[in-house]
Chains A and B, each alone.
Chain A
Amino acid sequence: MSHDNSSPKFLQHHFHDVEQQYETAKLGMWAFILTEVLTFGGLFVAYVVYRSWYPEMFVGANLLLDVNKGLLNTIVLITSSLTMVLAVWAIQKKNQKLSLFMLIATFLFAFMFLGIKYLEYSHKFEVGQLPGEYYSYMGPEIAHLNNPHIFFSIYFIMTGLHGLHVAIGMGLIAWLIYATAKGNLNSEYYTPMEMIGIFWHLVDLIWIYLFPLFYLI
């Protein structure tokens, strides 16, 4: 079965029209977002359980995190969400160049986020503030606290999983940059950019939860 010549080449053969294809992609993406929320939700439950078991330890251990770097990263990630929105807006307005620029900016912000995270992690590795059995830090601030290794287990698992999402997001954005530069994405067809945008906002949103949970309270 072939479709008639009037249908654009980005329309896959099993859809009737562009609108159906777009609506389907959007629904699929939101369903995916739901699974992501539940994945982090499971870890969030672990956080709540252990926080209620060891409230003093959690309060004490969070002081060991670097709030400034955390705050900087929050700003970086929120900005990258903004540039992502602008990239989609620009392509809708037929401004491919601006869109490309915004995508590259988003990519660089993501990179910056991971760079700052790397600095934080490597400091933790140096002083031995590590998950579980690898934990060895015995500084005076927390000498009186029970099981601080659990705090760092949860911290590393949650921020690590989030970092993995940032890295995957960078891969996707890199692909968007390529596709936009080649003109495969344009004002008529930019569904992938919109979908990856939704994913990117989710990644941002998760961090907005993680930041206060670990750094502030």
Chain B
Amino acid sequence: MAENQKQNYLTHPKGIMSWLLTLDHKRIGLMYLFGGIAFFFLGGVLALGMRLELAAPGNDFVSNDTYNNMYTLHGAIMIFLFIIPAIPGALGNILLPLMLGAKDVAFPRLNLASFYIYTVGALFVMYTIISGGVDTGWTFYTPYSTTSTSNVIPMTMGIFVIGFSSILTGLNFIATIHKMRIPGLTWYKLPLFVWALYGTSLVQITATPVIAITMVLLILERLLGIGIFDPALGGDPVLYQHFFWFYSHPAVYIMILPAFGIISEIIPVHSRKKVWGYKFIAFSTLSIAFIGFLVWGHHMFTSGQSVFSQIVFSFITYFVGIPTGVKIFSWMLTMYKGQVSFTPPMLYALSFLFLFTIGGLTGIFLGAVALDIHLHDTYFVVAHFHYVMQGGTIIAFLGGLHHWWPKSMGTMYNQTVANICCLGVFLGFNGTFFPQFLLGLRGMPRRYATYDQQYAELHNYSSFWSGILGLSIFISIMNLLWSLRKNNKLDPGTNPWGGMTLEWTHTTSPPHPHNFEEEPVLEHGPYDYDKVIVEPTFKK
């Protein structure tokens, strides 16, 4: 036992090469985690820079050109280098095999390859930044993106490359979920996070090829003038928008489904109650993934779409709200009469419920054609997608990070500091983005460095709170890292929240290099708090 206590995946084997060439999903997950957080920081600095510029109406700090570069890089980094890879790549990688009782993912080498492909893509993006940036916005709409003199090619090349990493991770996870479960772990006994990863992976492998080929066509359009998207050569710029949103609407589910999965884990564990409506949550994941492929046109209501398409896309868009609403109600009913404890992960989960609901409901506003024609390309859209992507995905990511930190790192952060930071994030987030709904309603367009005096007060307010938001996130990450200091190890048997899934009940914290000392035997379902008592244990 004494020897086993020392053997965990973090310390065994040793040496830098054992990390760089590791096939261990947990180590690969950690590399994704730290890569992702580094890009989160970079994207965050750009965001705060923009808010600084926007604190007052004129060109106070940066030129319009610089501003255009800033929002493009901010969007592209956050979406393609952080949100899309971070949850599946980091938390998904670390947890999926553990939750299935497996020794590793189905294809460990492919897993490492996807990490390096991600790195190569990231290098392209870094090259774009040092060689002068790109100013098209993260959507790269033609015809501007085919004529802009900025560095469109390295940036879109980077996105193309990262697409492969995303596809390979998705493919790996699908094979893992189908084939690597321990005997007895049937589909309905899977933790809901696994269902969420399954839905995400399906979208990753089906939607990503389309963005990859779109980026190729865009690059060729710039290099060879192929005439597919360029109207001067007989092409159709709107076709680009179809291609782009055929991927990018499903991609918003690549971003949010894993977050749903995290919330579905945090809420039952920290309420000590069986999840309400397991099958509802599981199947709503799949139906969201499916319906998500049919609604891309709602981004194009103002692109000259026919009234008929507008009606159809608007109608189908509302259907997305149904499975999403089902989930929200299931989570709330799970908490009902549970023993809710206000731990950091739970506070993040509660913030998620509040913020994501606002984001989802404003999506319904935007899905209504008449309203969208007014609100399209205004700050209302900016507020909407920040409520879902930051208020939803990033808050869930932070919650998941706090939930599984003791499991994956074997240390516990200062929970009071974490709670205060969570409150700071919640207030800072609302303070930053709620005013933007009002700005958008009053007609403030997105993607401008300067604005009319009438918007000054709300913008100033938004900028102030963005400082609080940035600071809170920064401190919360520092708080996590600070827990890694010497002599702060937890007892390997720690199960601080009393989790019931295999990663909590059958392996140490941090886990054994091969995950489990011996293959786990399933004793109960993932959320059987009504049948079995698993006490939280917390020992230094």
Contacts and interface: CB of A to CB of B under 8 A. Distances in A.
Answer whether A and B are interacting partners. yes
Main DSSP-derived SS at the A contact region = helix
Interface of A: 1, 12-14, 20, 23-24, 27-28, 31-32, 34-36, 38-39, 41-43, 45-46, 49-50, 53-54, 131-134, 146-147, 149-150, 153-154, 157
Given A1-B514, A14-B104, A150 B234 contact: yes
Interface in B81-106: 102-104, 106
B209 A27 contact: no
A35 B166 CA distance: 11
A127 to B, nearest CB: 17
A31 B174 contact: yes
Contacts of A32: 171
B28 to A, nearest CB: 14
Nearest to B247: A42
A38 B239 contact: no
Given A31-B175, A35-B208, A149-B234, 5 more contacts: A34-B205, A38-B209, A132-B220, A132-B221, A157-B217
Interface in B224-280: 224-228, 233-236, 239, 243
B472 to A, nearest CB: 39
Contacts of B122: none
B290 interface: no
A35 B209 contact: yes
Nearest to A57: B234
B167 A28 contact: no
B239 A46 contact: yes
A123 to B, nearest CB: 19
Contacts of B102: 14
A43 B236 contact: no
A49 B180 CA distance: 42
B450 interface: no
Contacts of B234: 54, 146-147, 149-150
A13 B102 CA distance: 11
B396 interface: no
B172 interface: yes
Contacts of A132: 220-221, 224-227, 233
B112 to A, nearest CB: 14
A12 to B, nearest CB: 8
Contact of A13 (B103, B172, B214): B103
B123 to A, nearest CB: 23
- CB-based closest 8 A-B pairs: A133-B225, A147-B234, A153-B226, A132-B226, A14-B103, A39-B209, A14-B104, A132-B225
11 contacts: A14-B104, A27-B175, A35-B206, A38-B210, A39-B212, A42-B210, A42-B243, A46-B228, A50-B228, A132-B225, A153-B226
Contacts of A41: 209-210
Contact of B171 (A1, A35, A131, A147): A35
A165 to B, nearest CB: 13
Interface residues of B, number: 39
A35 B167 contact: yes
A134 B221 CA distance: 12
B179 interface: yes
Contacts of A133: 224-225, 227, 233
B108 interface: yes
B514 A149 contact: no
B12 interface: no
A54 B234 CA distance: 10
B107 A28 contact: yes
A27 B178 contact: yes
Contacts of A53: 236
A42 B245 CA distance: 12
Contacts of A43: 213
A133 B234 CA distance: 11
Nearest to B177: A27
Given A46-B239, A53-B236, A23 B167 contact: no
B525 to A, nearest CB: 23
A31 B171 contact: yes
B233 A147 contact: yes
Contact of B220 (A31, A39, A157): A157
Given A31-B175, A34-B206, A42 B214 contact: yes
Interface in B520-537: none
A153 B108 contact: no
Nearest to A50: B228
A49 B227 contact: no
Counting chain A CB atoms within 10 Å of each CB, which of B104, B171, B214 scores highest?
Answer: B171
A131 B224 contact: yes
Contacts of A45: 243
Contact of A36 (B209, B216, B235): B209
A149 B216 CA distance: 18
Nearest to B208: A35
B170 to A, nearest CB: 8
Interface string B189-231: 0000000000000000110111011101100110011111000
Given A24-B180, A27-B175, A35 B224 contact: no
Nearest to A135: B227
Contact of A150 (B103, B178, B227): B227
Contacts of A134: 224-225
A213 B102 CA distance: 46
Contacts of B236: 49, 53
Contacts of A1: 103, 514
